[in-house]
A and B are shown apart, each in its own frame.
Chain A
Amino acid sequence: MAPSHRTLAGEITKGLLVENPVARLILGICSSLAVTNTVINGLAMGLAVIFVTVASSALVSMVRKVVPGGVRIATYIVIISGFVTLADLFLRAFFPDISKTLGPYVPLIVVNCIIMARAEVFAAKYPVVPSIADAIGMGAGYTWVLLAIGAVREILGSGTILGYTVLSEKVFTPWTVMVLPPGAFLTLGFLIGLINYVTMRRARKTR
């Protein structure tokens, strides 16, 4: 059942660009738009999602032969929400400031389609090691997109990057729209457009 034609490295790298969850599969859009008004929020969210995806993919893969098909979705949700609650409690205990800025979006990782999709599409069918590799790649793909959106929005919306001023208010009036939801949609749209353009050009060259 293991994917013999694929390598472990391939499982990791496919999530970065070719099957990027946000930019190519358009999954996990809600949180990518909601928490990316600064880079640091995007980073915290990305790390939390990597943790939950890896942990739940590993566990789902382990129990995949024991769980009857009829209750598999319910079982996955219990597993995923368990890890999400762990992450939420951990942030609240050790990083209260980040937990406060991320607000309700940490508990909402439960309904992040990326994690459910990886459990259902990949971890439920493959052994533990490839499942972990797949989850790392998907989580990393999600995280870099969040960082990219967060960087654009933070620079244009607040004139800062990671909290450090790069564009002084004297020369640049911050674009408030970039901190607001429309700015997230615009940035994501341009990013997806850019990625599609790059992949199309690549495909044309190889042909």
Chain B
Amino acid sequence: MKNSSAAMVIVLTVTTVVVGGILAGFFHLVYPRIEANRIAEEKRAIFAVLQGAEKYDVIEKEITGAKGKKEVVRIFKGLNAAGETVGYAFIAEGPGFQGTIKMMVGLNIDLKKLTAMKVLEQVETPGLGNKISEARFTDQFSGLLIEPRIEYLKNRKPEKPNEIQAVTGATISSKAVVNGLNGRINIILGILVAEAKPKEG
């Protein structure tokens, strides 16, 4: 076809509209599946850190974080078959060695101990930092006391109930996990305590 402006505009418009239309249709077709995948994954992670939970409610709360940035915090209230609360789960993040470490954390109903921790996403150094995903490291968080704050030790076995041992040679990754948890736990506790008050009063 000749290289006139009209031809160019028509061809490009038609291509864009046709491709856009096909994509919109296909997206509509597969979106339910993508959404179902996301929810199934979230569910798996929540039930993995909250033992006995069979379903969960989502508590959403908007907070103003550092630098005045607004953020919606989601807390998952785990319920057992009888409908009783078994604990709270939430997502915590920390800046790791190379990228963000994303974790699902379970909080005991007394708000004093963690039930479990599971690393959802991380890009730490394989064979070194990525050991934070292994059970040997994450199991330390089950039943861990969060008061006054979680501490990590290097090359030493923990003595106090609020201490964990860092992965050998991967202090930065371990520190990121602990700092990410401590920072998030404070926010979550604030929200949960505020939620609980009106009922008492």
A residues adjacent to B (C-beta < 8 A): 37, 63, 65-71, 74-75, 78-79, 81-82, 85-86, 89-90, 92-94, 96, 157-158, 174, 176, 179-180
Q: B117 CB to closest chain A CB, in angstroms?
A: 20
A82 and B27 CA atoms in complex are apart in Å by: 12
Given contacts A68-B2, A79-B19, contact A89 B26 (CB under 8 A): yes
Given contacts A93-B37, A94-B33, contact A67 B26 (CB under 8 A): no
Whether B34 is near chain A, meaning CB under 8 Å from some CB there, is: yes
State whether B1 touches A67 (Cβ < 8 A): yes
A179 and B124 CA atoms in complex are apart in Å by: 11
State whether B7 touches A68 (Cβ < 8 A): yes
Which of chain B's residues has its CB closest to A178's CB? B126
Given contacts A68-B3, A68-B4, contact A79 B33 (CB under 8 A): no
A-B contacts, 10 listed (Cβ < 8 Å): A67-B11, A68-B11, A71-B11, A79-B19, A82-B23, A86-B26, A89-B23, A92-B37, A176-B127, A180-B126
Given contacts A66-B1, A86-B23, A176-B125, contact A71 B33 (CB under 8 A): no
Chain B 95-107: CB-based contact to A (< 8 A → 1; otherwise 0): 0000000000000
Which of chain A's residues has its CB closest to B11's CB? A67
Which of chain B's residues has its CB closest to A83's CB? B19
State whether A176 touches B126 (Cβ < 8 A): yes
Chain B residues lying within 8 Å of A89, measured Cβ to Cβ, are: 23, 26-27, 30, 34
State whether A65 touches B1 (Cβ < 8 A): yes
State whether B4 touches A78 (Cβ < 8 A): no
Query: Apart from A67-B1, A94-B33, what 19 extra A-B contacts exist at CB < 8 Å?
Result: A37-B126, A66-B11, A67-B11, A69-B3, A70-B3, A71-B11, A78-B15, A78-B16, A82-B19, A82-B23, A86-B23, A89-B23, A92-B30, A93-B30, A93-B33, A93-B34, A96-B41, A176-B128, A179-B126
Whether B8 is near chain A, meaning CB under 8 Å from some CB there, is: yes
Task: For A179, give its contact among B7, B27, B37, B127 (CB under 8 Å).
Answer: B127
Chain B 167-192: CB-based contact to A (< 8 A → 1; otherwise 0): 00000000000000000000000000
Chain B residues lying within 8 Å of A69, measured Cβ to Cβ, are: 3
A116 and B19 CA atoms in complex are apart in Å by: 17
A189 and B27 CA atoms in complex are apart in Å by: 40
Chain A residues lying within 8 Å of B11, measured Cβ to Cβ, are: 66-68, 71, 75
Given contacts A85-B23, A93-B37, contact A68 B8 (CB under 8 A): yes
Chain B residues lying within 8 Å of A85, measured Cβ to Cβ, are: 23
A139 and B22 CA atoms in complex are apart in Å by: 24
Chain A residues lying within 8 Å of B81, measured Cβ to Cβ, are: none
Q: A168 CB to closest chain B CB, in angstroms?
A: 15
State whether B126 touches A158 (Cβ < 8 A): yes
Q: A47 CB to closest chain B CB, in angstroms?
A: 18
Whether B194 is near chain A, meaning CB under 8 Å from some CB there, is: no
Chain B residues lying within 8 Å of A176, measured Cβ to Cβ, are: 125-128
Given contacts A158-B126, A174-B127, A176-B128, contact A90 B19 (CB under 8 A): no
Chain B 29-72: CB-based contact to A (< 8 A → 1; otherwise 0): 01001100100010000000000000000000000000000000
Chain B residues lying within 8 Å of A68, measured Cβ to Cβ, are: 1-4, 7-8, 11
